Structure 1
Amino acid sequence: MTRLSVSQGAALSTGAVLGTGLIALPALAAAAAGPAALVAWLALILLSAPLAWTFAALGARFPDGGGVATYAGRAFGPRVAAAVGWCFYFAVPLGTPVATGFTGGYAAAVAGGGRTTELVTFLLVTAVAFAMNWFGLRVSGRVQLVLTGVLTALLVVAVLAALPHVDPGNLTPFAPHGWAGIGAATALLVWAFAGWEALSSLSHEYRNPRRDVPRATLIAVALVGVLYLAVAGVSVLVLGPALAESRAPLADLLAVGLGGPARQITAVIAIVLTLGAVNAYYAGVSRLGAALARDGALPSRVFGGRRRSLAFIFLASVGCALLPIGLHTSTLLVTGCFTLVYVIGTASALRLLPRGWPKLIAGTAFVAVLGLLWLNGWPSLLSLGFAAGALAYQALQQRRQRGQALVEQVRVDRSEADDQAVDVRTV
């Protein structure tokens, strides 16, 4: 049986969280808050520690492919578990075109082709992630380890190359849009830190979940925090006001430090980032879908088993890529779903984790994600639609089960009546 090592788990976690946040979000955050966007970056980095630890603690104590849905079921019952599972599971196909959309813009800038190049990039990334996960975590985990190593090296090069061009004057004016701008930047940057919950679905794949899950998560938190803050900080200090107007901030940063080949290098970074994120999410949610089907929260004919669940996610991702929804809107919709999952997940931790500092850390994470849900605004309502779908499906299943039980009871009653009639005639 395939088992994840600490290094592979840390690589999957890093790939899931690091994801596509560095491709476009530094510019979007700077446009919302100016240099004060660094406050939002720092706040979310600090939030990652208790949030990641909370999910790691749950995964270590309750290793299961259902991840957050399993914890919600233990804490609040099967209906909440199904609602959380649906919210996360069906948000991933909607989020996959968003992630690859960031990358497609970089690829199109290098190769040309506009929308066609973006769609080809989407199909390439999702098909490779699908293939890696189809053949199991032994392939997926090892490839992810390589991808994360390459990605880390490229980002370090980008930061070091740009350091000689740092200008502290670019920090003024520091907060041109005030606290409201920092709040808006924080809501956008939630996308960059989504991912800690995805890997909880892989907790049962570790060799020793109680020991290895916290270790892998600790490594990932440290690596993600350092890389995010370094790239975001250098981007603000080097690019200055131009950062807010950039459509390819990482490419601009590399162009300052390296010159000529910056666009090509950045396209490679973008593809590696996105492939790492999609690969990690496909690994986690394929098992989540199978677990939901196992527990009766999804139809087993479609979602039963890891590969059926994976196939659905891939096909649904292709379908969502063809929807006429803007990239910005899709980002907020997906972020709202993930934030609600965090709220339910951390609330579950408050009921499941032991008293003392574990519950204190979970409580800190719970309060923080409630604030993020408020900052996200109306796009969070999409998660209610997924939750309603889960409840409706469960109600339908219960009605079918009652109907089948009634039919079976009528059959038994008729059989008993026929047996009594035979006995009377015999007498």
Structure 2
Amino acid sequence: MENNRGSNKAGLGVFRATGIYVGAILGSGVLVLPAIAAQEAGPASLLAWALLLVFCTPVAFSFAEMSRQQPDAGGIAHFVTRAFGRRASAVAGYLFYFAIPFGAPATAVIGGNYIAHALGGGRGTALAAAVLLLAAGFASNAVGIRLSSRIQLTLMVVLVGLLALAVAVAAPYAKAENFEPFAPHGYWAVGGAASLLFFCFAGWEAVTHLAAEFRHPERDLKRATWLTLIVVGVVYIGVVAAAVAVLGPGLPGSAVPVADLLEKGLGELAAPLTAVAAAVLTFGPLNTFIAGASRLGAKLASDGVLPRRLARGGAPGQVPAASLAVLAAMTFVSFGAAAAGLASMQFQIGAASACFTAVTAFGLASGVRLLRPGTAAWYGVIVAAAVMVLVLLFSGWALLVPVLLGAAAVAAGGRAQRQGTRVAAGDAPTGVGTGPAATERVTTQLRASGS
């Protein structure tokens, strides 16, 4: 008999959940990275896309299995709590939550630049488009995950349709000779291309924070994971294969390969369609990462490592308005600093990438302890964790950001623990008592009161 423990009858079904998953993975990188990867490895860059898709399969199912066992808004931070304890959990939570103000502005600017190029605008157009994309991501989450998931599912259907159209209209211009030579820089270059393409496949960690919003997480998490892998695989391989076959030697020099594909078959109609594709590709990951981070912020606040006011609205189906507002404020301040030239996009992308890589490595390391030893998922998570640690070591200067955030999280976790101990030992109301049981009772009362 099916286990319905923890099911959320009003929550997300498998198709809306798949829309959120696809939105987290399919990002604006597909607009530019086919050309960059082709410059690195030629037509053999197709192998890099395929290898990363294979590598992401155990990552995706490891997170899905851990979320299925115990869905929680804490996501990876919750897995780390179960595996390594609360202090390690606070570190993982801080890394994800505070990565958003770095990564979201950079993502929005990439989409804004592509939109400006498609519409023939300059830097002002790009910045205006970026602001609108950021505002849309926060506004969508302010109305609640259920409505925003419907919006995202619709947009993902539109996006896949647009990318399929780009492939279809360009197909008559494909030439087999464009695949020769297949590996002009040798097959070793495929590894370099794969390292560039890795973050086109990131995003599985963001959805772990939304597992409690699923109607039947024990069933639909794996179904949504399978559907997402199929959609992402078909889209990425289809678009990249078409770009190589149609654009050929011109692909490495193209700044807008998807636009070039559309222009082959549609001419002037390509510009507005490219702008729409760029907007949807940017909105999808923004919407999902903001949704996950805002719920994580509420969870961290309920654990005492962020101000407790941020815990309001953290239950499934609710809007974590306070956490969302703080996240929006930090993100727009960061965007303003970048627009004013006080922070470079390279710094923002590097900082966000290092944080997300560390978070993913944390989550996978937790899987080694939480998943049943000897299973396919267990072996897969060991390999994936080792690869993620290796990627993290190549982050260079950007490692300073997760190190500083980790130190802040440890300090906040220690402060929360000391406050809980003081309440249990001396500040507890008459009749509450002392010791671990009393601490838990007082903490429960504090959370219930929203203090």
Q: 1:104 corresponds to which residue? A: 112
Matched, 1:206 2:195: no
Task: Say whether 1:54 aligns with 2:62.
Answer: yes
Corresponding residue of 1:354 = 372
Confirm or deny: 8 A CA contact 2:11 2:213 kept in the other structure.
Answer: yes
CA contact (8 A) 1:303 1:312 kept: no
In the alignment, residue 379 of structure 1 is paired with which amino acid? A
| Partner amino acid, structure 1, of 2:343 | I
Among 251, 258, 261, which residue is 2:269 paired with?
261
1:14-413 alignment, distance < 5 Å: 14-178=22-186, 181-302=189-310, 304-305=312-313, 306-323=320-337, 324-355=342-373, 356-398=375-417, 408=427
- Report how far residue 302 of structure 1 moved: 4.5
SS of equivalent residue, structure 1 residue 322:
helix
CA spacing shift, 1:380–1:255, aligned 2, 3 Å? farther
Q: 1:59 to 1:408 in 2, by over 3 A?
A: closer
Q: Which stretch shifts more, 34-43 or 133-142?
A: 34-43
* Structure 1 gaps, min length 5: 410-427
Tell me how far apart the structure 1 counterparts of residues 119 and 411 of structure 2 sit (CA, whole Å).
Answer: 46
C-alpha distance in 2, partners of 1:126/1:341? 23
Letter in 2 for 1:88: F
Task: List gaps (5 residues or longer) in structure 2.
Answer: 1-8, 314-319, 429-451
Q: Is the 8 A contact 2:294 2:323 kept in 1?
A: yes
Q: Relative to total residues, which structure has the larger helix share, 1 or 2? A: 1
Alpha-carbon deviation of 1:130?
1.5
The whole-number CA distance in structure 1 between the counterparts of 2:333 and 2:190 is 34
What residue number does 2:435 align with?
none
Cα distance in 2 for partners of 1:173, 1:326 equals 37
Aligned AA for 1:10?
Answer: T
1:317-363 deviations in Å (ceiling 9; x for gaps): 21221233333443333222212111111110111112323322322
Q: 8 Å contact 1:85–1:288 — kept in the other structure?
A: yes
TM norm structure 2: 0.85
Root mean square deviation, CA, Å = 2.4
Distance in 2 (alpha carbons) for counterparts of 1:332 and 1:242: 29
Amino acid corresponding to residue 368 of structure 1 in structure 2: V
**SS of the counterpart of 2:377?**
helix
Give me the whole-angstrom Cα distance separating, in 1, the residues matched to 2:46 and 2:108. Answer: 25
Indicate if the aligned counterparts of 1:289 and 1:304 stay in contact, CA closer than 8 A: no
Counterpart-to-counterpart distance in 2, 1:167 and 1:203: 45
| CA 1:232–1:333: 2 relative to 1, 3 Å | farther
For residue 138 of structure 1, report the CA deviation from its aligned partner. 1.9
Distance 1:150 1:58, change over 3 A: same
| Percent identity for Structure 1 against Structure 2 | 41
Give the Å deviation of 1:377.
Answer: 4.5
Displacement after TM superposition at 1:181 (Å): 3.7
Deviations 1:278-315 (A, max 9, x none): 11111111111111111122122356541111112222
What amino acid is the match of 1:345?
A: G
* Pair 274,331 (structure 1): closer, same or farther in 2 beyond 3 Å: same
- Asked if 2 retains the 8 angstrom alpha-carbon contact of 1:162 and 1:257, the reply is yes
CA contact 1:41–1:189 (8 Å) conserved in 2: yes
What is the alpha-carbon distance in structure 1 between the residues aligned to residue 188 and residue 105 of structure 2? Answer: 29
CA distance in 2, matches of 1:233, 1:374: 31
**CA–CA distance in 2 between the matches of 1:86 and 1:171?**
45
1:378 CA displacement = 4.4
- Say if 2:298 and 2:310, in contact at 8 Å, map to a contact too: no
CA contact (8 A) 2:30 2:236 kept: yes
**If you compute each CA radius of gyration, which structure gives the higher value, 1 or 2?**
1
- Number of equivalent positions: 411
Whether the aligned pair in 2 keeps the contact of 1:336 and 1:382 (CA below 8 Å) is yes
